[in-house]
Structure 1
Amino acid sequence: MSYLALKDLHVTCVVLSGLGFCLRGWWMASGSPRLQARLTRVLPHVVDTVLLGSALTLAWMSGQYPFVQGWLTAKVLGLLTYIGCGAMALKRAPSRAARLRYLVLALLAYAYIVGVALTRHPFLL
């Protein structure tokens, strides 16, 4: 697979992952039973696995690695924040109010990751 095709796959998965998280966040906030559907629980893992695999392959193909390139390090740290806040928002926070706060934090982390990817700078300059 060419670098550009892989990058297109990666960006598509970024969009699908973000939209899927927003939808699941909406369902969480509204108390929808759709949040418990099998497809809702499985599909995000498929998309995120392809997303991570394409990211690792792109890093290898380009010779740019986290903890060497500052912007990639920032993306990895943003990703860990996004995952942690997302898990709290959709499953682990003890109250609806706490879940909504974590949802906002996860969305901010997602926006930060996209911003760093677009600017290739950890401070979004």
Structure 2
Amino acid sequence: MYEYYLPIKHLHMTAVGLSITLFVIRAYWSVTGSGLLQHKLVRILPHVVDTVLLTCGMILAAMIGPNQPWILTKIVLLIAYIGVGTVAIKRGHTTRGRLTAALIAVLIFVYIIGVAITKDSGSWFSML
């Protein structure tokens, strides 16, 4: 099973890059009121990418094992990222609210990346 670790990890990391790229584009369109946000591909593709991302993440977590507190940190932060992200793209009532939510979501995402790289719940702060 571990012979699949690296290909799954690389697919996961590719999905991470696509996911944040699509999020930033969609958040920008949401803040600017662009009609492109309603395009069928724009509405479907992020869900496909995020499904791949989450599936690979769950497989990797199962491979690594349950005694890794940083994985729980990533899960909790992911839930926060999703919640704030929905405000940035759909649920924000004002332009300023959507922009603020988008910036917070990106900061949460950067923190999640730090947790993944350092394998520590302190993320980038653990490197200080």
Report the TM-score range of the alignment, normalised by the length of the smaller protein. Answer: over 0.9
Alignment correspondent of 2:98: 99
* CA–CA separation in structure 2 for the residues paired with 1:28 and 1:109: 19
Alignment correspondent of 1:109: 108
Counterpart amino acid of 2:104?
Answer: L
* CA–CA separation in structure 1 for the residues paired with 2:50 and 2:68: 22
Q: TM-score, normalised by structure 2?
A: 0.91
Task: Provide the aligned C-alpha RMSD in A.
Answer: 1.1
* CA–CA separation in structure 1 for the residues paired with 2:61 and 2:112: 15
* CA–CA separation in structure 2 for the residues paired with 1:81 and 1:74: 11
Alignment correspondent of 1:14: 16
Query: What do the CA deviations read for 1:68-115 (whole angstroms, capped 9, x no partner)?
Result: 422111101110110000001100111111111111111111111111
Could you tell me which runs of 5 or more consecutive residues in structure 1 were left unpaired when the two chains were aligned: none
Counterpart amino acid of 2:98?
Answer: R
Percent of aligned positions that are identical: 43
Matches within 5 A, 1:1-125: 2-63=4-65, 65=66, 68-124=67-123, 125=126
User: Secondary structure in 2 aligned to 1:2?
Assistant: helix
Could you tell me which runs of 5 or more consecutive residues in structure 2 were left unpaired when the two chains were aligned: none
**Structure with a larger share of its residues in helix:** 2
What is the count of residue pairs matched by the alignment? 122
User: Secondary structure in 1 aligned to 2:120?
Assistant: coil
